[in-house]
Structure 1
Amino acid sequence: MPNIQPKITPIYQTSVFKFEDLDAVQQYFDEPGSRYLYSRNGNPNSDELATAVAQWEGGAGAVATGSGMAAIFAALLTYCQAGDHVLCAADIYGGSAALLNLELSRLGIAVTYVPFESLYDLAAYVQPTTRLLLCETMSNPLLRVVDLRAAAAECHRHGLKLVVDNTFSTPVLTRPLGYGADLVLHSVTKYLAGHSDVTAGAVVARTPEDAARLRQIGVIFGLTLSPMESWLSVRGMKTMRLRVAAHSENALAVAEFLTRQPAVQAVYYPGLAAHPQNQLASEQGGGRFGGMLSFRLPDDEQLVNRFMQRSQRFPFAPSLAGVDSSCSSPLYTSHRALTDAQRAELGISVGLVRLSVGIEPVEELLADLAQALG
C-alpha cells in the first residue's frame, strides 16, 4: 500500500476498531491513548475536535459531546453529585434552566438563580453544599456581559468552581479559562461549526484532573460525539476566526441601524456605546462583540408576526450562529421552559426578538430589516 498522508483527517466512520491479539487489547488499557477500541470511548475525529477546542480555549483537555445540552450536563456532573447545590445566573439559556429544574433536581441536585447584579457578591446565595456557579459570557437573550475575572475571584473566594458557557462569544473573542474559569463549554452547533448542519457540544477543563473526569463522564454516560459530526465541526472551525469577525462587523451595523427605527423600543447589543457593559465587553472581546443581538418591539403578537412574515433575510429559526442570518422569539422557543415569573423578571415578552446576524452583505440585511419594520 502506498504511503498515504492526507492533509485533512479522514472520517473514521466505524463503531469499533480491530486488535491483533490479547496483547494488543492489554496495550489499550495499559497505555491510554495508544490506540482505539470503541468509538464511544474515543475516535480520531472526536479526539481531533476536542483537541482543537481545547487549544482555542487554552485548556488542559476537552470532551466532544453529542449536543450543547450534553456539554452542559457533563460540565455540571464534573463537580456535582446528589445532595449538592448549584448557583446559576438568572440570565441563562432556557435549556440550561430546564436541565437544572426538571432533571438534575430529580437527581438530588438543587439550584438557586442569582440575579445579574449579584454575581460578584454570592455570600447570600452560597450554601454548605454549593459546588459551582454556571453563567454565560454573553447572556442569552439580553446580551448582558459577565465580568469573568470578578466572577471567578468571587467563586474561588467561596470555594466554588466557575463554569462558563462561551457559546455566544466564542474563543475568538473571549477565553474564560484565562480569566480564572474552571470549565468552559460550547454548543459547537453554533459558531464553532458555524454552518447550521451539525449538532454537537464541547467542554474544556483548565486542569488535567478535570479533563480526565470529563472524559470519564462522556464515555460512561454515552455523551460522546459521532465521527461524521466531529469531522464537520473541525472543518467548520477552520474558518471560525474569519466568520466571527464578519458576524461581529455585521451585527454592529445592524444594532446601530435598529436604534434609529421608530418601531424599535430597545436594542440589546454589547457593541453599542449605550450598553451598560460596553467597556467590559470591549476589553474581554478584543474590541469585537459577536453576532448576536436582541431588540424589543411592542408586545403585540400580530405586529411581531408581521415583522417575521415580511423579513426575507432573517427567517424565524429556533437556533443561531449560522453563516445565514435568522431571527427567533425567546418567549416561544429558547426560554419557553422558564417560569412566568422568571421571564417577567428578565423582560422576556412577546415583543423581544433575537437576531442571529450572519455574514451576508450587510447592505442586504439592512434593506430587509427596513422593509420588514416599515
Structure 2
Amino acid sequence: MASIHPKITPIYQTSVFKFQDLDELDQYYQEPNSRYLYSRNGNPNSDELADAVNALEGGAGAVATSSGMAAIFAAILAYCQAGDHVLCAADIYGGSAALLNTELSRMGVSVTYVPFEQLYDLGQHRQDNTRLLLAETISNPLLRVADLRRLAAHCHELGLKLVVDNTFATPLLTQPLALGADITLHSVTKYIAGHSDVTAGVAVAAEREVAARLKQIGVFYGLTLSPMESWLAVRGLKTLRLRIREHSHNALALAEMLNQHPAVRAVYYPGLPTHEQHALAAAQGGGLFSGMLSFKLTDDKEAVSEFMRRTTRFPFAPSLAGVDSSLSYPLGTSHRALTAEQQAALGITVGLIRLSVGIEPIEELMADLQQALS
C-alpha cells in the first residue's frame, strides 16, 4: 500500500488504540508520549489542539478539555485541595462563580471575591491557606482590563498563583504567561474555534510539572475533548488571526456609534479613549480590543425586549465570539445566579446588553443597530 501523507490531520474517531504485543505495551508506559492507548488518556486530535494553543500562549504544556468550564476546574485543581482557599475577581464569568460557590465548596475549597478596585491590594483578602487568584484578562460583561504584569507580580509577592481566563482577549491580543501568569485558559468554544459549532476548552501552564498535573486531572476526571470537536477547533484556529482583526475593527466602529446614540446610556469597550483602562488595553492588546462590547439602555425590561425583537443581525444567543454577531443579556443568563446585591455592585442592571460583534460587513451591522434603537 502506498504511504499516505495527509496535509490535514485525519479525525482519529476511535476510543481505543491497538497494541501488537507486550513490548509495545511496555513502551507505552516507559515512554508516555510514544503512542496512544485510550482516547480519554490522549488522542492525536486533542493533542494537536492543545499543542497549537500552547504554542500561541508560549506555554510549557497544555490540555484540551470538554468545555471552558472543565478547563477552569482543571486549573483550580492543579493548585488546590480540600481545605484551601482561592481568591476570585468579582468581575468574573457567572459560570466560574457558580463552579466555585457550588461544587468546589463541596470539595472543601472556599472562595473570596475581590472587587476590581482591590485586585492590586490582595493582602487584605489573603489567608494562610490561600493558593491562587482567578481573574480574566478582559472581564465579562463590563470589559474591564486587568494589568496582568502588575497582578502577577503582586500575586507572587504574596505566594499566590495567578490563573487567567484569556477567552475574551485570545493569545493574539494578550499572552498572560509572558506577563507572569501561571496558568492561562480558554473557552475554545468562543474565539479559538470561532464558528459556534464546538464546545471545548484548553488550559495552558507556564511550568512542565503543572502541565503534567493538568493532563492528569483531565484523564482522572474524564475531562478529555472528543476527536471530532478537537478537529473542528483546530480548523477554526487556523483563521483566528484574520477573524480577531475583523471582530476588533467592527466592535470599535459599533462602540463609537453607540457612544453617540441618544438612546444609549453607557458603552463599555476598551477601545474607546474614555474607557478607564484604555491605555493599558492598547498596550496589552497590541492595539486591538477584541469583538466584545456591552452597552446600557434605560433600565426597562420592555425596552430591552423591544430592542431584541427589532434587531435582525444580533440574535439573542447566550454565548459569544462566533463569526456571526449575537447579543446576550447578562442579568438573565451568565450572571443570573448572583444575588441582586452582587449584580448591582457589578453594574449588571436591567438595561445592560452584551454584544458579540461578528465579521459581517460593518455597514450592515451599523444599519441594523440604528433601526433597532430608533
- Pick the TM interval, shorter chain: over 0.9
Letter of the structure 2 residue corresponding to residue 320 of structure 1 = L
The DSSP-based 3-state class of the residue aligned with 2:317 is coil
Alignment match, 2:333: 333
Percent of aligned positions that are identical = 74
Deviations 1:47-84, CA, capped at 9 Å, x for gaps: 00000000000000000000000000000000000000
- 1:136 and 2:136 matched: yes
Alignment match, 1:12: 12
Alignment match, 1:187: 187
Alignment match, 1:61: 61
Deviations 1:216-274, CA, capped at 9 Å, x for gaps: 00000000100000000000000000000000000000000001111100000000000
Shift in Å at residue 23 of structure 1? 1.3
Q: Structure 2: which 5+ residue stretches go unaligned?
A: none
Letter of the structure 1 residue corresponding to residue 150 of structure 2 = A
Shift in Å at residue 21 of structure 1? 1.0
The DSSP-based 3-state class of the residue aligned with 1:123 is helix
Deviations 1:140-167, CA, capped at 9 Å, x for gaps: 0000000000100110000000000000
Alignment match, 1:229: 229
Alignment match, 1:299: 299
Alignment match, 2:86: 86
The DSSP-based 3-state class of the residue aligned with 2:236 is helix
The DSSP-based 3-state class of the residue aligned with 1:219 is helix
Alignment match, 2:244: 244
Letter of the structure 2 residue corresponding to residue 46 of structure 1 = S
- 1:29 and 2:19 matched: no
Alignment match, 1:205: 205
Return structure 1 stretches of 4+ with deviation > 4 angstroms. none
Q: How many residues align?
A: 374
Shift in Å at residue 22 of structure 1? 1.2
Letter of the structure 1 residue corresponding to residue 91 of structure 2 = D
Deviations 1:194-223, CA, capped at 9 Å, x for gaps: 000000000000000100000000000000
User: TM-score if structure 2 supplies the norm length?
Assistant: 1.00
Shift in Å at residue 339 of structure 1? 1.9
The DSSP-based 3-state class of the residue aligned with 2:123 is coil
Find the aligned partners of 1:194 and 1:337 in 2 and give their Cα distance: 27
The CA RMSD measured in Å over matched residues stands at: 0.4
Letter of the structure 1 residue corresponding to residue 332 of structure 2 = Y
Alignment match, 2:352: 352
Letter of the structure 1 residue corresponding to residue 353 of structure 2 = V
Find the aligned partners of 1:339 and 1:231 in 2 and give their Cα distance: 39
- 1:161 and 2:161 matched: yes
Shift in Å at residue 338 of structure 1? 1.5
The DSSP-based 3-state class of the residue aligned with 2:78 is helix
Shift in Å at residue 373 of structure 1? 0.2
Alignment match, 1:286: 286
Alignment match, 1:368: 368
Letter of the structure 2 residue corresponding to residue 193 of structure 1 = A
Find the aligned partners of 2:339 and 2:44 in 1 and give their Cα distance: 42
Find the aligned partners of 2:46 and 2:263 in 1 and give their Cα distance: 46
Find the aligned partners of 2:74 and 2:275 in 1 and give their Cα distance: 33
Letter of the structure 2 residue corresponding to residue 277 of structure 1 = Q
Letter of the structure 1 residue corresponding to residue 307 of structure 2 = F
User: Any residues of structure 2 matched to 1:237-276 within 5 Å, and which?
Assistant: 237-276=237-276
Find the aligned partners of 1:122 and 1:347 in 2 and give their Cα distance: 22
Deviations 1:113-133, CA, capped at 9 Å, x for gaps: 001011111110000000000
Find the aligned partners of 1:4 and 1:140 in 2 and give their Cα distance: 46
The DSSP-based 3-state class of the residue aligned with 2:106 is coil
Shift in Å at residue 342 of structure 1? 1.1
Alignment match, 1:120: 120
User: Any residues of structure 2 matched to 1:208-219 within 5 Å, and which?
Assistant: 208-219=208-219
Find the aligned partners of 2:359 and 2:238 in 1 and give their Cα distance: 16
Letter of the structure 1 residue corresponding to residue 204 of structure 2 = V
